[in-house]
Amino acid sequence: MNHRSETALWIAQRASAALLALCVTVHLVTIVYAVRGGLTAAEIFARTRGSVGWLAFYTLFVLAVAVHAPIGLRPVLAEWLGWRGKSREVFVLAFGVLLAWIGLRAVLAVFA
């Protein structure tokens, strides 16, 4: 991969990290609120079903994860397993698609 693509990936990872810092905080606060308040699954669904706000928030969260994690996985694969080259890029791309797929499925499940 050339220096421009590597730099673009680095920027994408930094940008997604900034988003994740915000998303993870909101996510954790939401979990603590839901658990401490003793909300039931039905009560949670009542809040999320049809809520465009939660749909947008968790869609953004999932997409940030799907961008951030595969980029971080690349050097781990290279440095720990010596896996470089095209096959590694295909693998991390597939990993990103998988994260986006299972994440968005879950987001849709609590929305609709």
Partner 1 sequence: MKVSVWRGDALGSLQTFEVPRFPSQTVLDVVTHIQRHLDPTLAYRYACRVGMCGSCAMTVNGQPRWTCRTHVDRVAKNETLEVRPLRNLPVIRDLVTDMRTFFDKWQRAGGHFDGRSTKADDFARIAPESAERKSIDAGIECIGCGVCYAACDVVKWNPDYLGPAALNRAWTLVADSRDTDSARLRAVAGDAGCHACHTHMSCTERCPKHISPTAGIAGLKRAVAKAEIDGKL
Q: Which is nearer to partner 1, 4 or 36 (CB)?
A: 4
For residue 79, CA distances in Å to 12, 75, 82 come to 21, 6, 6
Q: Does the footprint of partner 1 cover residue 1 (CB under 8 A)? A: yes
Nearest approach in angstroms of CB 8 to partner 1 is 6
Q: Build a one-symbol-per-residue string for 15-54: x at contacts with partner 1 by CB under 8 A, - elsewhere.
A: ----------------------------------------
Residue 16: how many other CB atoms lie within 10 Å: 20
Q: Which is nearer to partner 1, 45 or 83 (CB)?
A: 83
**Residue 42 in tokens:** 């039905």
**Residue 52 in tokens:** 């465009």
